[in-house]
Structure formats: C-alpha cells, structure tokens
Amino acid sequence: MTRRSMLSLSIAGVIAVLVAAQAVYAGDGHGKRHGHGHGSRALVFVQTNEVSGNRIVVYQVAGDGNLSAAGSYATGGNGGIAAPGTESDRLASQGSLVFDRHHKLLFAVNAGSNSVSTFSLQGDRLQLEGVVPSGGQFPASIAVRGNVVYVLNAGGTGIVQGFRLGRDGLSAIPDSARSLGLANTSPPDFLMSPGQVGFTPDGRQLIVTTKASGSTIDVFQVEQNGLLSTTPVRNPSATPVPFAFTFTPAGRLAMGEAGMSTVTTYDVQRDGTVADPKSQADGQTALCWIERVGPYYYVSNTGSNTLSGFRISHDGQPSLVTSTGVVATTEPGPIDLTSPRGTPFLYAQTGVGGTIDAFLVNRDGTLTKIGNVSGLPVGMEGIAST
C-alpha cells in the first residue's frame, strides 16, 4: 500500500468517526444547532476569574473540535478565591458562567465584587449590558428560567437572590432573597460553600446543594411571580458532599457527590422531597462537576486529574462507560465542563493547568483527546457554550 493510500484511509477514518459521533446527538434534545451570526459555528466561553479584573474569553469551535480565540471581554468586576486559596477550584461551584440560548445572553459572577455581569451575544462578540449587585457575598452560581434568574451567593449564611430579566437587564425581585442558614465566612471555605443553584426542568422548583455544610439537597418551591417558598425542604444526600447536578431526559436529578466520588440520581417530588436514590461510584477522587452529552454523563475528578463517563438507565441507575470508569486524563485540576449543543465535543477546564482540554465523544461513550488551549490564568473557573 502506498503512503498516499494510507493517508487517504486515515483521513477517511477520522471523518467516519466524526460523522458517527455526530449522529449520536441528532434528535436527542441536545442536538439542535443555532445560528450565531458567522454561520452556525459553535462558541465556548471561559471565565478567567482574575482578582485584578474578571474577563470572559470567547472561542470559536472548528469542525474538528479545536478552539480558536475570538476575543476577550472585561466583566466590570473582580474574580474571587474561596478559602484556603487552592488553584484548582477557586469558586467551588458549577454554573458560575451561564449562557441563555433563548435570549442570547451570557451571565457571569464576579465573586470578588459581589456582582453579576450580563453580556449580549452578537455574532461571536460579546457586549457588556450591565453589572448589578448579587444580593449577597461571593456569588458563585446562576440559574436562568425564562425571565427569572436566581443567583447563589456562597458566602456567609448563603443567600439565593432573585432577579427579573427585562429590557433594561437584570433587576432584583423585591423580597426574593432566601437564606440557606449556613455558617460560612466570606470568602467561604471551598468545601463548606454551597455548590450550585438550578431550576427543575418544569421550572416549579429551585435546587441548591450545600456540599459539606450538611450534605443536603435544598429544594424551594417557585411561585408564578418568581418568588420562592420561605424555606426549602432539606434532603440528605445519598452519599456525602452533593456538589453539581444536571437532569436526565426523564427528569431525574443527576448529582455529582464528591465525598465518595459517586453519581446519584433522584426523583424530585412535588413536595420538595427527593426519593429513590440510585448511586454509582467511579473509584476516583473528588468527583464534582457533571455534564450531559447526548446519552452520556461526564464528570471531573479534580483530585485524580481524570474524567469519568456514565450511562443512566431510564429507571435512573447510573453505570460506568468503562470498567475503570475513567475515559480520559487531563491537565492538572479538571473542574467545570461544557459541550456546545449539537456537537460531539466536550471541553474540560483545568484550574491548575490553565488549559481547556478538548475531547471527541465517541459512539460508545469513550473520549478521544483532540488537543487543548493553554495560557489561561491559573485559578480560572466557569465555562459555558452555545
């Protein structure tokens, strides 16, 4: 066989893998492409979380999954560092940077300034629309549902503050602040601070994880006017330190629990209780962040510098994609994850390495390393995509 023939076969093989992987995501609810001005190229947003001035870096996603820088934008606030100041997880949260596809708006926390920034997306460019007080100390996570936005302030007692999204941007909803009743400092300890805020798929409940401050899953009822119930239902997690979460297509809560490095799914009841927990450990250290890509769920094991992959059956039972659970190794300190809608690509942010590691999601759920982007600030945290 000639060298040219071998090269042709190699290129054909790569194309076949990309086409096959793309087919996994078509029509699964994660597979619509949306135009963004310059064709339909997907974008990835990275929050630098610099204490001297927070920024958002925008990357274009090429057809092969590689990233190219498209701009850098100041948020008008400062990043923050949770105690004791480790480099791998300075915000200790998931959802610190959130893209709202419906409004084409990007929301970012400024943990060091106790504020939230809103950007509009125009093509592949961002326009800062406003900066508002977060309603508490050390904002770390954001949840968006329609025109209602809730910000989780992780410092002090832990405050969730509601906002209305209007023509003039974010405005605080009167009497919407709710305390989690925690006993944290500000900045909080990274292990004791609450980890994420998020709406249930039907928007009727708001969930907050408390991590090691009780290891509870707090569920608030959401009224039609956007206000929350006075207090949440506090549910003990199946395994310690509930951190980050997403939802399955069947509506079950899929939770990354760091204490025993497990993924646990729950049925969220109308009264705010969570039931029918089903868990699976991955044998790694500090499983924290979780991202669904098509039929698979990927988690960052920040203590092991690895990513693990899971399937979740219709009845909610998680299982490992591989016998060891590990589907990839990363640069030091993997944290937040994102996958642009309609693509077979997964991007992992590394707080210690200062990189974005890029992967192709294969049909069997394994990952193939594509490359990485280096030179980002150590201690960055927050990643989102279109």
| % pLDDT > 70, the chain | 90
CATH of the domain at 145: 2.130.10.10
Q: How confident is the model at residue 11 (pLDDT cuts 50, 70, 90)?
A: very low
Share the mean pLDDT of the chain: 92
Q: What is the DSSP string of 174-214?
A: TT--EE------SSPBTTTS--EEEE-TTSSEEEEE-TTTT
Please check the confidence at residue 313 and state whether its pLDDT lies above 70.
yes
Q: Mean pLDDT over residues 94-121, rounded?
A: 98
Q: Mean pLDDT over residues 33-38, rounded?
A: 36
Q: What is the pLDDT of residue 87?
A: 83
Please check the confidence at residue 1 and state whether its pLDDT lies above 90.
no
In angstroms, the Cα distances linking 52 to 239, 331, 356 are 37, 25, 21
Element (H, E) at 11: helix 3-25
Query: 260-307, pLDDT tens digit by residue?
Result: 999 999 999 999 999 999 999 999 999 999 999 999 999 999 999 999
Residue 155: burial class (beta carbons within 10 Å; 0-12, 13-18, 19+): buried
Ramachandran quadrant class, 294 (left: phi over 0; alpha: psi -120 to 50; beta: rest): left
Q: What is the pLDDT of residue 320?
A: 98
Q: Does residue 325 fall inside a structural domain? A: yes
User: Containing domain of residue 351, as a range?
Assistant: 37-385
Q: Does residue 300 fall inside a structural domain? A: yes
Q: Does residue 142 fall inside a structural domain? A: yes
- The distance of Cα 114 from the centroid of its chain, to the nearest Å, equals 20
Phi, psi (deg, nearest 5) at residue 112: -80, -10
Q: Does residue 11 fall inside a structural domain? A: no
- Would you say 265 and 255 are in contact if contact means Cβ atoms under 8 Å apart? yes
Domain count, the chain: 1
Please check the confidence at residue 349 and state whether its pLDDT lies above 60.
yes
Q: Which residues have a Cβ under 8 Å from the Cβ of 83 and sit 6 or more positions away?
A: 185, 187, 188, 189, 190
Please check the confidence at residue 200 and state whether its pLDDT lies above 80.
yes
Q: What is the DSSP string of 51-116?
A: TT--EEEEEEEPTTS-EEEEEEEE-SS-----BT--SS-SS--S-SEEEETTTTEEEEEETTTTEE
Q: Does residue 26 fall inside a structural domain? A: no
Please check the confidence at residue 123 and state whether its pLDDT lies above 50.
yes
Q: Mean pLDDT over residues 26-52, rounded?
A: 65
Q: What is the pLDDT of residue 40?
A: 58
Q: What is the pLDDT of residue 5?
A: 43
* 3-class state of residue 10 by DSSP: helix
Please check the confidence at residue 31 and state whether its pLDDT lies above 90.
no
Please check the confidence at residue 39 and state whether its pLDDT lies above 70.
no
Q: Does residue 27 fall inside a structural domain? A: no
Q: Does residue 43 fall inside a structural domain? A: yes
Neighbours of 295 (CB within 10 A): 16
Query: 212-257, pLDDT tens digit by residue?
Result: 999 999 999 999 999 999 999 999 999 999 999 999 999 999 999 9
Query: 60-96, pLDDT tens digit by residue?
Result: 999 999 999 999 999 999 999 999 988 899 999 999 9
Query: 328-341, pLDDT tens digit by residue?
Result: 999 999 999 999 99
Q: What is the pLDDT of residue 174?
A: 98
Q: Does residue 7 fall inside a structural domain? A: no
Higher-confidence residue of 150 and 4: namely: 150
Torsion of CA 18, 20, 22, 28, to 10 degrees: -160
Please check the confidence at residue 311 and state whether its pLDDT lies above 60.
yes
| % pLDDT > 90, the chain | 88
